[in-house]
C-alpha cells in the first residue's frame, strides 16, 4: 500500500468493523424480538434512551398502542422491566447506526479538505455514504411494516435490510482493498468467473437467510440431512401457499428448503474454485484466501446444521449470522485478489 493511503485504509476498515458490530447487534435485536420496541424514529431526540422513570412510562404507553403488545405481549405478563430490555437492544442498534454515520462522514470531509483522496476514491466514498443513508431508510422501512396490523416485520423487508448491510460492508471492504493492493496483477479469468458466480450465489443465500429469520422458518423441520419425516422435499412445502413462487418465498417450509439446499451449492462452488485453482500458479495471498474460504464455508455449514437441530438458540443463531459475515468478507477478499 502507499504510505499516504494508510490513514484512509484504517478509516475504511474501521467502518467495516462497525458494520460488523451493527449486524451482530441487529441479530441480537431480531432474536430477542426487540425490533418493534421503539415505535417512532427521530434523528436527534432518540439518540439516548429515556432518562427518567416518567419518560420510560411514556415510551411504554406508546408501545402498548401497537400490535406486538396488543396481540402478543399483553398475554405474557409483560411489564416495564421487560420493555426496557427489548428497548435497549433496538436503541443500541440505532445508536451504532448513528456512530457509523459520523465515522464515515466526518473523516470523509477531513480527507477531502486535506486532499488525501483520489478522484476515483472520492466517487467510491460518495457511493458508500449513499448506501449508508439508504440502509438507515431500509431499517425504518422494515420496522414500519410491523407497526400496522401484523406484529411481525415483513420478512422481505428484513431480508432487504440485512442483505444491504452485507453488501455495504462488502463494498467498503472492496474500496479498502483497492488501496491496500494498488498494484495490478495478471488476472486468471476462469478463476475470477467462478469466484464471481460464487459471490452471487452466496448473496442469494444470505437473502434466503433473511427470509428464514423473518419467517422463523428455522423452527420447523429441525432435522438433518433430511427434513421432517425423512423427506428430502417435505410435502408441507406444496401445501403452504397457492403458487410455487409463493411457496418458495413466503412459505416456511419452502424457504427453509431453498436455504438448506442452496448451502450445498455454496459449499460446492467454493470447493470447485479451490480445486480448480490448483491448475494455476498463484501467489501466496491468493492461496491463503482460497484456503481460508474453504475452511470458513465448512464452519458456516456446520453452524447452520446445528442451529437447525437445536431449534435456533440465541447464541447459535447469532454465530451463524456472524460467520456468514466472515464468509462474505473472505469471498470478497478472494475475488479481489483474483481480479486485480
| CA 196, 198, 200, 202 torsion-angle sign | negative
Cα separation, 168 vs 74, whole angstroms: 38
pLDDT at residue 186, as a whole number: 86
Nearest alpha carbon to residue 166 among 158, 262, 154:
158
Quote the pTM value.
Answer: 0.92
Cα separation, 41 vs 213, whole angstroms: 23
Nearest alpha carbon to residue 98 among 135, 56, 147:
135
Three-state DSSP state, 241: coil
CB 208 within 8 A of CB 320: no
pLDDT at residue 1, as a whole number: 64
Q: Which three cell numbers stand for residue 178?
A: 483497492
**Sequence-distant (≥ 6) Cβ neighbours of residue 9 within 8 angstroms:** 1, 176, 179, 180
pLDDT at residue 105, as a whole number: 94
Three-state DSSP state, 41: coil
pLDDT at residue 184, as a whole number: 84
State the Cα torsion 178-183-188-190 to the nearest 10°.
20
CB 80 within 8 A of CB 56: yes
CB 36 within 8 A of CB 143: yes
Domain ranges of the chain: 1-183, 185-339
pLDDT at residue 149, as a whole number: 82
Nearest alpha carbon to residue 210 among 269, 145, 258, 140:
258
pLDDT at residue 151, as a whole number: 84
Burial of residue 8 (CB within 10 Å: 0-12, 13-18, 19+) is: buried
Nearest alpha carbon to residue 162 among 127, 209, 95:
209
pLDDT at residue 183, as a whole number: 86
Q: What are the Cα distances from residue 190, in Å, to 195, 236, 330? A: 9, 41, 19
Q: What are the binding residues?
A: 259, 320
Q: Which three cell numbers stand for residue 242?
A: 397457492
CB 146 within 8 A of CB 67: yes
Cell 441480537 found at: 28
pLDDT at residue 41, as a whole number: 76
Q: What are the binding residues for heme?
A: 259, 320
Cα separation, 173 vs 180, whole angstroms: 10
Mean pLDDT, consecutive 10-residue segments, the chain of 340 residues? Answer: 84 95 92 89 78 93 93 91 94 93 94 92 94 91 87 92 96 96 90 97 97 95 96 96 96 97 98 97 95 98 97 94 96 95
What is the crossing angle of helices 189-215 and 252-276, to 10°?
A: 160
Amino acid at each position: 500500500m502507499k504510505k499516504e493511503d494508510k490513514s484512509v485504509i484504517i478509516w475504511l476498515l474501521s467502518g467495516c468493523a462497525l458494520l460488523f458490530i451493527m449486524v451482530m447487534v441487529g441479530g441480537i435485536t431480531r432474536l430477542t424480538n426487540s425490533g418493534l420496541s421503539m415505535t417512532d424514529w427521530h434523528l436527534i431526540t432518540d439518540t439516548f434512551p429515556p432518562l427518567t422513570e416518567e419518560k420510560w412510562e411514556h415510551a411504554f404507553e406508546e408501545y402498548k398502542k401497537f400490535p406486538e403488545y396488543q396481540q402478543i405481549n399483553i398475554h405474557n405478563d409483560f411489564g416495564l422491566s421487560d420493555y426496557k430490555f427489548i428497548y435497549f437492544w433496538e436503541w443500541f442498534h440505532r445508536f451504532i447506526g448513528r456512530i457509523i454515520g459520523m465515522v464515515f462522514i466526518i473523516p470523509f470531509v477531513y480527507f477531502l479538505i486535506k486532499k488525501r483522496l483520489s478522484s476515483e476514491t472520492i466517487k467510491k466514498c460518495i457511493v458508500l455514504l449513499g448506501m449508508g443513508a439508504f440502509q438507515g431508510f431500509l431499517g425504518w422501512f422494515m420496522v414500519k411494516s410491523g407497526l400496522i396490523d401484523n406484529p411481525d416485520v415483513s420478512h422481505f423487508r428484513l431480508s432487504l435490510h440485512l442483505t444491504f448491510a452485507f453488501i455495504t460492508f462488502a463494498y467498503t471492504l472492496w474500496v479498502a482493498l483497492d488501496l491496500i493492493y494498488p498494484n495490478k496483477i495478471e488476472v486468471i479469468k476462469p478463476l475470477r468467473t467462478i469466484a464471481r458466480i460464487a459471490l452471487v450465489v452466496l448473496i442469494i443465500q444470505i437473502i434466503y437467510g433473511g427470509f428464514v429469520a423473518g419467517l422463523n422458518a428455522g423452527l420447523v423441520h429441525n432435522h438433518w440431512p433430511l427434513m421432517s419425516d425423512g423427506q428430502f422435499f417435505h410435502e408441507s412445502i406444496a401445501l403452504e401457499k397457492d403458487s410455487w413462487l409463493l411457496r418458495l418465498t413466503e412459505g416456511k417450509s419452502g424457504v427453509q428448503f431453498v436455504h438448506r439446499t442452496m448451502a450445498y451449492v455454496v459449499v460446492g462452488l467454493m470447493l470447485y474454485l479451490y480445486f480448480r485453482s490448483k491448475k494455476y500458479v498463484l501467489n501466496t495471498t491468493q492461496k491463503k484466501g482460497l484456503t481460508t474460504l474453504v475452511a470458513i464455508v465448512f464452519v458456516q455449514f456446520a453452524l447452520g446444521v446445528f442451529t437447525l437441530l437445536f431449534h435456533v438458540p440465541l447464541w447459535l443463531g447469532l454465530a451463524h449470522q456472524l460467520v456468514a459475515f466472515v464468509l462474505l468478507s473472505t469471498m470478497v477478499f478472494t475475488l479481489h485478489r483474483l481480479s486485480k
